[in-house]
Structure 1
Amino acid sequence: MIESNLKVVFITMGVTNVFTSLLEAGIQIIGVIESRSKNATNRSLSLQSFCQESSIPYYYMDNGCDELLESWVRELEPDLIVINSMSELLKKNILDIPNKGCINLHPTLLPKYRGGYPFFWTFYDMDLNPGITVHYIDEGEDTGDIIYQESYPIPLGCTEEQLIDILETQNGVRLLLQAITDIEKDSAPRIKQTKDSPTVRARKISPNEFPTIIDWEKWEIERIWHLLRGTQNWLDVFDFTEIPQYVSKWRIQDYTKEEFSTPVEFGKVYSKDDEYLVYCGQGKITMELIFE
């Protein structure tokens, strides 16, 4: 438990380990705003139910930073707004309300991978030394002053769940609690970010980009395997025309470097010797298929 008298409004997109850890640490969360899901059909009522059971005021942010949201936040009179996962930027009318400002937990080493989809681009670039940043929010996209940040090595083939656990659960919560404590004491550092980022903007990729996102022939097999492991929950890059059943999910297993004795099509999934596999220029990647 930490000693903090700050009144905090928390913005997130679900019941996460970060949210529950702040509550368990004794942070005084006086209201929760649920940011609209990046996939509008995926709204879960679990956060609303959790807040109702915990007697925490709840607001579903379905119309941006409008007057209704502004009025709701002003009535709570928060000292600080804390964000962990949000689908849009806060505007000045909300940013100006808390007297201690607004902070965000961003799962990269800013200014790297500014934007709403940093995990994908971390895997895409095979960045094995990612990090976490707690920073102040301004009107830009992840451009506010840095409070704390740290980097942590991850293993090749790390999954998205493992990455979130390393960056946010194991380390991000600790940095966030330290930042909140120091903000209350007016001793939190403020480090200006550079204007330019060394990486691409962490934008969302569209389904029509999926077929060309991987260079099956030229990329090293380790890079392909790492990206597939990290995105196996959603990245539909495979050609399943050789598989008669409808494939609803897949799980990436191992990779083997080898040369081919017969011609194969890269990116196409085959069934061979009781296993499912996909070929690339340097070898094969095995996978588990889940059928509808």
Structure 2
Amino acid sequence: MRIVFMGTPDFAVPTLEALIRGGHRVEAVVTQPDKPKGRGKAVLMTPVKEKALEYGIPVYQPSRIKKDEEFFHILEEIAPDAIVVTAFGQILPERILNLPRYGCINVHASLLPKYRGSAPIQWAVINGDRESGVTTMMMDVGLDTGDMLETTVVALDEKETGGSLFDRLSTAGGELILSTLEKAENGTLLRTRQPEEGACYAGMLDKALGKINWDMEAEAIERLIRGLNPWPSAYTSYEGKTLKLWDAEVVSCDEAKVTPEAVNGQIVGVLKDSFLVKTGKGCLKINELQLEGKKRMDTGAFLRGYPVEEGTVLGE
């Protein structure tokens, strides 16, 4: 097929590579405009743009795709059989949706209709789901509301993080799109309308979400830590500095010194390679962390440099 691919972050790269590997003619890649990042504000290309340029594919970066007449005429001239979209970052207008012969097909990182929206991967971990997956869908004017085409189910590991699930689903999405396009071309692709029952939206992530509320149950905090690893990360504070938590496990408070006066967020046990924190229900054993201005490290290394004392309250 003649394909126009639209995508922006790392998650979209395996889908682009799969299209190329699968023998499709990717006539153009559309991605978000380059943006300055970091302290030096250096302008960086999007991961999809970098990959497209490696293959010598023309790249277009409309800032407002809905209003860009020139870009629409370019699409008309390309006349793609299908437009494949993966985490592009802009909503497509109806005239673009209706342009390709086989339509605009989206690769979405959830089992629709659950987790429509921008952050389905992280919320699946945070909410303690046992499985996630990828859905290919026909795009319409709604936000991830189009007819479902195919799905791939992925079981979550006990220590699944947002980052590890991101990698697994991005690979699965690249494999699934080839199957979907093959069926579209040979006329065997089935469309299933999304039910509204079970539908929910996964809102955008921001750094404020990562602030740990120690009144929560230990299990919920542990999932938050995994879900927000590596970005935007779960954090608390220690002696006035931000303390990011990268790995923890739920444990019984039996081996800790939990007095009636102990408050949530209080360090109630200091071990050789970890320390225990009281939560709203149960204790959390902290195994890996990162103090503001320092490198990420296991808690044992941290304790050798910082003599943490029992009774210290995190988050104050």
Matched letter for residue 13 of structure 1:
T
1:23 to 16, 20, 29: 20
Equivalence for 2:158: 156
Q: Is the 8 A contact 1:9 1:30 kept in 2?
A: yes
Equivalence for 2:182: 181
Question: Greater shift after overlay, 92-101 or 275-284?
Answer: 275-284
**What is the CA-CA distance between 1:125 and the residue it aligns to?**
1.6
Equivalence for 1:3: none
CA, structure 1 residues 290+44, in 2 after alignment: closer, same or farther (shift >3 Å)? farther
Equivalence for 1:113: 115
Equivalence for 1:257: 252
- Residue segments in structure 2 that go unaligned for 5+ positions in a row: 294-316
Equivalence for 1:217: 215
**Matches of 1:61 and 1:276, distance apart in 2:** 50
Corresponding residue pairs, total? 279
CA, structure 1 residues 268+235, in 2 after alignment: closer, same or farther (shift >3 Å)? farther
CA, structure 1 residues 217+291, in 2 after alignment: closer, same or farther (shift >3 Å)? closer
Structure 1 segment 82-231 matched on structure 2, within 5 A: 82-169=84-171, 171-194=172-195, 196-208=196-208, 210-211=210-211, 216-219=214-217, 221-231=218-228
Matched letter for residue 48 of structure 1:
K
SS in 1 for 2:131: coil
1:33 to 30, 34, 37: 30
**What is the CA-CA distance between 1:230 and the residue it aligns to?**
1.9
Equivalence for 1:232: 229
Matched letter for residue 132 of structure 2:
P
SS in 2 for 1:239: strand
Q: Is the 8 A contact 1:238 1:267 kept in 2?
A: no
Equivalence for 1:284: 284
SS in 1 for 2:246: strand
**Matches of 1:78 and 1:270, distance apart in 2:** 62
CA, structure 1 residues 268+136, in 2 after alignment: closer, same or farther (shift >3 Å)? farther
**Matches of 1:277 and 1:71, distance apart in 2:** 61
**Matches of 2:30 and 2:136, distance apart in 1:** 19
**What is the CA-CA distance between 1:207 and the residue it aligns to?**
4.3
**What is the CA-CA distance between 1:47 and the residue it aligns to?**
3.5
| TM-score between both structures, scaled by the size of structure 1 | 0.83
| TM-score between both structures, scaled by the size of structure 2 | 0.77
**Matches of 2:225 and 2:104, distance apart in 1:** 35
Give RMSD over aligned pairs. 2.9
Bigger radius of gyration, 1 or 2?
2
SS in 2 for 1:284: strand
**What is the CA-CA distance between 1:252 and the residue it aligns to?**
1.5
**What is the CA-CA distance between 1:132 and the residue it aligns to?**
1.4
**Matches of 1:277 and 1:61, distance apart in 2:** 50
Q: Is the 8 A contact 1:9 1:29 kept in 2?
A: yes
Matched letter for residue 126 of structure 1:
G
- Residue segments in structure 1 that go unaligned for 5+ positions in a row: 1-5
Deviation string, structure 1 residues 210-246 (Cα, Å, up to 9, x no partner): 54xx653343x333212211212234553314265x6
CA, structure 1 residues 188+71, in 2 after alignment: closer, same or farther (shift >3 Å)? same
